[in-house]
Amino acid sequence: MFVNGSIAPRTLGLVGAKGGVGTTVAATSLAWALSQRGLRVVLLDLDLRSGQAALHLCERNAGPTVGDAMRVMERLDDTLLDTLLTPCSPSLRLLPAPRDWAAWPDGPDEDASALLKLLRTATELADWVVLDLPAGAMSSAHFGPLLCDLQEVALVTEPTLPATFNARRAWQWLQDHRSAPGANTLLLNKVQRHTGLPSEQVRRTLGLDGEADAWRELPRSDAAVAQATYHGQAVGAVDPKDAWSRAVSRWASELEQRRCSAAPTTTAPTAEDGPAVPTQPAAAAPPRPWHERLLRWAP
């Protein structure tokens, strides 16, 4: 479980509150930024039906996929997984989402224990394992155990009403089901001055006014993100001075500091530990602006 026998590897999953909020761009950029610090990073694209992480990191068609790993799951170990990963940069390797779904007649995400085994095996090979998860994964019984197992989860959203509506429900799920709620981050992407819901209102809607640690913003950066996607590279590789690249780099630095300051014996709770104990719901938010009334949803 330990890399270099000293600092424990860490797992981070990015999950969108809604489709199209920027989860994949954030996951690929963050994985790349961590690897730029000399860390060994494995990115698993678990958006099994429509994952596109490979398009953001490899100019060529990436090799074996999560589907190939699933086919050999019974004998999967670190040695075998090592042969399946596609190098994207000296210390960043990717296992892309399947290009076909032939391996799963009932749908590609039917096996929660296989997903957990894949995650655990990947930790044998990396300092950081980053997961690109499908939007709303917490509503899937198959992804729930995985989300509970991860040490860090970033819920990605954008400053729009539909995304905020979903984010509130998803954030509550994370608070209720993860036994390490302190390691949940709300990532507000595509932040642009004078456009969309103000960040403070999104924060208040999610009950995060006082929780600076759980909150992170990434700017809207159309030109840099579009250029990076066009070249099949991480945003930081194409335009390191862009505001987005700098914000992601700061995030990578803080994550790594947290990994280094964690006690080496700290490990993630496992499925064997039993279900996570739900935490108390967040305290009621102060006065409600108009959009919060719109965002009231049936439990």
- Taking the C-alpha atoms of residue 246 and residue 252, their distance in angstroms, rounded to an integer, is 10
Nearest to 95 by CA among 8, 12, 28, 2: 28
Residue nearest to ligand ATP (CB): 22
Q: Is 20 in the site for ligand ATP (CB under 6 A)?
A: yes
Cβ-based nearer residue to Mg ion, 40 or 244:
244
Residue nearest to Mg ion (CB): 24
- Among 128, 143, 173, 244, the residue binding ligand ATP under the rule CB under 6 A is 244
Nearest to 20 by CA among 45, 48, 52: 52
- Among 77, 78, 200, 222, the residue binding ligand ATP under the rule CB under 6 A is 222
CB count within 10 Å of CB 268 equals: 21
Can you give the length of the chain in residues? 299
Crossing angle for the helix pair 243-261 and 222-231, to the nearest 10 degrees: 80
CB-based contact 152:262 (threshold 8 Å) = no
Q: Is 16 in the site for ligand ATP (CB under 6 A)?
A: yes
Handedness of CA 60, 61, 63, 67 (dihedral sign): positive
- From the list 16-24, 96-104, 123-131, 262-270, the region that binds ligand ATP by CB under 6 A is 16-24
H/E stretch holding 80: helix 78-84
Cα 52 to the center of its chain, rounded Å: 14
- Among 13, 22, 67, 236, the residue binding ligand ATP under the rule CB under 6 A is 22
| Terminal Cα distance for the chain, rounded | 39
Q: Is 48 in the site for ligand ATP (CB under 6 A)?
A: no
Q: Is 162 in the site for ligand ATP (CB under 6 A)?
A: no
- From the list 13-21, 72-80, 113-121, 206-214, the region that binds ligand ATP by CB under 6 A is 13-21
Q: Is 21 in the site for ligand ATP (CB under 6 A)?
A: yes
Q: Which two tokens stand for residue 43?
A: 């990115």
Interaction residues for Mg ion, span 2-31 (CB under 5 A):
23-24
Q: Is 94 in the site for ligand ATP (CB under 6 A)?
A: no
Interaction residues for ligand ATP, span 124-153 (CB under 6 A):
135
- Taking the C-alpha atoms of residue 236 and residue 86, their distance in angstroms, rounded to an integer, is 19
- Among 8, 12, 15, 25, the residue binding ligand ATP under the rule CB under 6 A is 25
Q: Is 109 in the site for ligand ATP (CB under 6 A)?
A: no
- Taking the C-alpha atoms of residue 209 and residue 205, their distance in angstroms, rounded to an integer, is 9
Cβ-based nearer residue to ligand ATP, 230 or 297:
230
- Site for Mg ion, rule CB under 5 A: 23-24
- Site for ligand ATP, rule CB under 6 A: 16, 19-25, 47, 135, 189-190, 218, 220-222, 225, 229, 244
